[in-house]
Amino acid sequence: MSDLVPAPPKDPAPFTAETSFGPLTEANLTLFTVRPGLPAEEALMHASHLLDCLASSTYEHADGLQGHERKQAMSLFHLVELAKPLVDAAIDGIHQYR
């Protein structure tokens, strides 16, 4: 017997919300805005790639430093190491949800 009422559609894929960022101009406007409606998965994948680049650059920079400056640069590297798995887990969660 077929159902008379169709199953509700799956939840739509998440999308980005408009988010302004960056320094303020003289007119009190931010310089950059994330466009609304971009697929969240693509935005997260791009963020993950940016974090990879930042981790690599920061580590290479820290490698040429010593003392306190090296510790500061390595702290940035470790913060990126903490942020990237969060972004990657969000991507994995989107893939599992499908």
pLDDT band at 10 (very low <50, low <70, confident <90, very high): low
The predicted model scores a pTM of 0.79
Note whether 34 and 43 are within 8 A (CB). Answer: yes
The domain limits of the chain are 39-97
**pLDDT(1) > 60:** no
* pLDDT score, position 12: 73
Tokens 């791009």 belong to which residue?
46
Considering Cα of 47, then 51, then 53, then 57, what sign does the dihedral take?
positive
Give the pair of three-digit tokens for residue 23: 């320094």
**pLDDT(7) > 70:** no
* pLDDT score, position 75: 97
* pLDDT score, position 91: 95
